[in-house]
Amino acid sequence: MNELVASFGGRARRIAQRIFSRPRIDVPLAAGLFVLALIGLTVLYSASNLNTSMVIGQATRFLVGAALLLAVSRIPPSLLRAWTPWFYLLSCVLLVVLMVLGEGRGADRWLDLGVIRFQPSELMKLAMPMMIAWYLHPRPLPPRWRDIAAVGILTGIPALLIGRQPDLGTALLVLASGLFVLFLAGLQWWKIGAMLAALAGAAPVAWHYMHDYQRERVLTFLHPENDPLGTGWHIIQSMIAVGSGGIVGKGFNQGTQSKLEFLPEHTTDFIFAVLGEEFGLIGVLVLLALYVFIVGRCLWIAANARDTWSRLVAGAFGLAFMVYVIVNGGMISGLLPVVGVPLPLVSYGGTSAITLLTGFGVVMSIHAHRKWTP
Amino acid sequence: MNERRELPDEGARRARFARRALAGFAIMLALVLAVAGRFVYLQVHEHAEYSTRAKANRVRLRHLPPPRGLIFDREGKLLADNIPAFRLDVIPDKVKHMDALLERLAMVVPLTDDDIRRFKQSLKQHRSFEPVPLKFRLTESERDRFAVDQWQFPGVSIDPYLTRNYPYGAEFAHVVGYVGRIDEKEQAKLDPDRYAGTTHIGKTGLEKQYENLLHGTPGYELVEVNADQRPLRVLQRVPAKPGRNLYLTIDERLQRATIAAFAGQTGAAVAIDPRNGNVLAMVTVPSFDPNLFVNGISQADYTALLDDPDKPLLNRAMRGGYPPGSIVKPFLGLGGLEMGLRKPDDTVLSTGTFYIPGVARGYRDDQRYGAGRVNLMQAITQSVNTYFYSLALQMGIQRLDQWMAKFGFGSPTGIDLPDETGGVLPSPEWKRKTFKQPWYPGETVISGIGQGYWMVTPLQMAHALASLAGDGKSFTPHLLAATSDGLEDPETPYPQAPPKQITHDPADVAAVVQGMLGVVNSPSGTAYKAGIGQGFPYLIAGKTGTAERYSRTSEAYNTNKNLAYLAERHRAWFICFAPADHPQIAIAVVLEQGAWGGTAAAPIARKMLDQWLADTPPSERPPINTAATQSAVAAPATP
């Protein structure tokens, strides 16, 4: 390896030395993620009815994600930034491939690669902030209207592709992760206000293009008792699970709501309700605090980053990560409509965990290289 | 302006970002606190309430799949029905060792390899707490045996359900189609809420086409259960909303009479009402029993159907492509009139062979020394090739194609059934695309008599004829007439596309119809000998067609009159409509092996017409015009 490194000259050698040197991860952030993963596996063990193979499967995904995190953290941000358009393009192409294979009609969110199946929309959750930051970093900030329009196109196309799958929740989150970059880039508050007003104006149009069942979900959220059959049942049972957990919870593996299968999707989208039932308010607050800590650390790393791209990526990724938590928590507690958003690093599911950990790899890289210029 | 945007130094940029990051963090924190507040509300303030509800949560939700809509013929005969049956369900969660359970269960209720394979497949599609069907349509003895041993099989139950039944079996297999178990691919595309508890879905025919109408909306039951999850009583029940019933345009009596008329010969027939595009009969023989497919056909039955040389699974009426032969002549003749290339009385000399100027190869007439000078009417009546060879050549292949395409040749008719094929309307572009070869003038000539690459389906043929008979008004053929919510509810007519007008002058159509009247009623007509016009109160206009199945190896006239030999070589067509002056039914019949259209296929059409007459109440019949009958028969005298 050393010969290889030595064979490069000058700048290339310094980059190579960086990549192959001892990992320099951010210990507080890594510790936070590690604890979060442990909590996730514990709750999954109970939620899956002590299904060890599911837990081992999820742990394997965490290990793959951790390996990717370590690998990505060694790549200098300048390289990551240079690769960004290709990464974004690849994610877009995969979404188009998915649309073509799914004939654009069915609810096809999965790409089957034989060995693994993954959701390109999850990839986009990472590619989006990187791409918008890539677009904005050489331009004068705060962004001008025409930059805002460009960002609108860059975020809108993938969001539409995902919305067509149809996966409204993820489409909105991907859209949001792109817009966070604009926000962090210093977009004037009055422009933010104008954009929010425009969005509110576009809501009836979006309503027009929604699938019938998606409209039903929104209406169900407003009146859950009208539809005890489908999503209304989910909300009611989820609230019973959470509410009956009380302050200290019913104890590990003691949640009747999930054990007796009143709670749907209790290993994936509704796993937070299992935690709420078995570990009570204390468990919920500990988990939320842990998330806040992780996001706070991301923003701190962002604020200390050396260049605009790094700042925007780390900051937007952190904010988006928090939004996933808020949306999932709001959904299972009946504050928000059921939109099928997993709880980051706790819900069972591969693509989400691996992409999120890779994203933290990017954040770690920004941290590790903050005092270094190639 | 730019100076104000471009901040002077990196420090200021960082500071601004830090402010923004802080603002973002503050917003997130506020939202997290809102969520946390919600949890505090649920878990502290409402804890007692939800605690009680969790303890009292002995209520389970059970989906009630909707009964599928029924399908009726135009007279209200039930073509697709739901009958009660029992099936064996397994709840995967309740089973520790699935294979061991299946092995023990098979000793009580016989399970085939097919059952187990399908069960294992559907295990993957269902959530683990939902019952997965293992075996459908249990016999009474199977139910009794299981009932005795049920205690040994936790998680296994016998549940009643409604199964699809097709009382007319093979008669409507190709029209109504059949339902089958939802497979993995379909599962992925279905709205899980709408298909909760549903195991079957329309696979072919109308069952597939109108799946959305037939399916209905599921209901649910809130069932009180004990600690072992055994149901105690039903607390609340919202019944499922059944799918809509379909009322078809098809007439079972006509369908049955048509099948009988084929007397076991292979072929297809379609009857359409030219006034509205209603499909009155759509027959494919042989057919198969759709009931075999409903709960999963056995491998042996399926192989038998696939290996049958008569291909009973092939829907010949709308997927069978046959060379049309002479039945295209009336359409070509009409084109000649519409384009102004011919007047009805213009004559062409038929000498037995037609030559393209400057080309040595000749094109034959059916009569050895030709029919002499014939006008349009006589050319259709006697099916004189030379008249149409010369007309096709004069029209040119481009115009010929455009004209024929108006009648729907070369493309699907758009009937409300899945998987219709469009046949082939050969054109220079089509040939270039398909064979990468140029078009030859000789191919234009034989296109004029429906030979060459030309392929049509019986449905296309009936549709084209109905368009001609209805004075050039072309309706999209359809089978669905109306729908209703329930048996007591009124029928709602199903909307149809408005017709397209494809001819301009009714006199042109009338001239062609004169020729077609001659086919049936004039002694020189090609269908006269079969006597199909005799004893029928209305005038019948028709046209015969005999297309060769294999290309001719020599130009010699075939002197072998052995009918069996000819039948093996020919495809026999007959198309007709009646009453000629007020058309109410247009028929296309094809026999895969028929010696001549006039003698083999025409009698089938006549039997269909007889049935149509019997089915039409006198009040709905048009007046009988005796004078017209006589003049029509007298008109096409030989010159």
Give residues with Cβ within 8 angstroms of B107, minimum separation 6. none
Percentage of chain A beyond pLDDT 90 is: 38
Chain B residues with beta carbon closer than 8 angstroms to that of A246: 43-44, 47, 51
Residues in chain A: 374
* DSSP reduced 3-state for B612: helix
CB B587 within 8 A of CB B608: yes
Q: Which of B25, B44, B64, B184 has the highest number of chain A CBs within 10 A, making it the mutation to test binding with A?
A: B25
CA distance B402 to B494: 31
At B556, the pLDDT band (50, 70, 90 cuts) reads very low
CB pairs under 8 A between A and B: 158
CA nearest to A165 within chain B:
B189
Chain A residues with beta carbon closer than 8 angstroms to that of B7: 141
Please state the φ and ψ torsions of residue A111, each to the nearest 5 degrees. Answer: -110, 125
**pLDDT tens-digit series, residues A64-95:** 999 999 999 988 898 999 999 999 999 999 88
Instruction: Give the start-end residues of each E strand in B8-155.
Output: 59-64, 71-72, 78-90, 132-135
To 5 degrees, how large is the angle CA B442–CA B446–CA B450? 155
CA nearest to B2 within chain A:
A140
Q: Which of B4, B6, B28 has the highest number of chain A CBs within 10 A, making it the mutation to test binding with A?
A: B28
Cα dist from B610 to A251, B532, B579, whole Å: 81, 10, 12
* DSSP reduced 3-state for B285: strand
Kindly provide the b/e burial profile for residues A75-102, where b requires at least 16 CB atoms within 10 angstroms of the residue's own CB.
bbbbebbeebeebbeebbebbeebbeeb
- Nearest of B17, B43, B521 to residue A305 by alpha carbon: B17
Is residue B326 annotated as part of the catalytic site, yes or no?
Answer: yes
CB B290 within 8 A of CB B177: yes
Token pair belonging to B176: 């109504």
**pLDDT tens-digit series, residues A122-165:** 889 899 999 999 999 888 878 888 999 999 999 999 998 888 77
Cα dist from B23 to A42, A47, A182, A184, B215, whole Å: 34, 36, 13, 9, 52
Distance from CA of A249 to the nearest CA of B (A): 9
Give residues with Cβ within 8 angstroms of B623, minimum separation 6. B582
CA distance B357 to B394: 12
pLDDT at position B553, please? 45
B 16-35: CB under 8 A from A: 16-18, 20-22, 24-25, 28-29, 31-32, 34-35
Distance from CA of B159 to the nearest CA of A (A): 21
Which residue(s) pair with B80 in the sheet? Answer: B71
CB contact under 8 A, A241 and B54: yes
Please state the φ and ψ torsions of residue A101, each to the nearest 5 degrees. Answer: -65, -40
CA distance B547 to B262: 19
**pLDDT tens-digit series, residues B476-521:** 999 999 999 988 888 899 999 999 999 989 999 999 999 999 999 9
Q: Which tops the pLDDT comparison, B351 or B414?
A: B414
pLDDT at position A374, please? 47
Complex-level ipTM: 0.89
Q: Which tops the pLDDT comparison, A199 or B631?
A: A199
Percentage of chain A beyond pLDDT 70 is: 83
Q: Which of A236, A244, A262 has the highest number of chain B CBs within 10 A, making it the mutation to test binding with B?
A: A244
Give the residue ranges of DSSP H helices in chain A. Answer: 2-7, 10-20, 27-47, 52-73, 77-101, 120-136, 145-163, 168-184, 189-209, 212-222, 231-245, 256-259, 271-303, 308-332, 350-368
Chain B residues with beta carbon closer than 8 angstroms to that of A291: 32
CB contact under 8 A, B18 and A334: no
pLDDT at position B44, please? 92
At A335, the pLDDT band (50, 70, 90 cuts) reads confident
**pLDDT tens-digit series, residues B207-255:** 999 999 999 988 888 887 765 566 777 877 888 999 999 999 999 999 9
When mean pLDDT is compared over A188-202, A349-363, B14-28, B248-262, the highest value belongs to: B248-262
- Per-residue pLDDT averaged across A84-111, rounded? 74
Is pLDDT above 50 for B639? no
pLDDT at position A8, please? 60
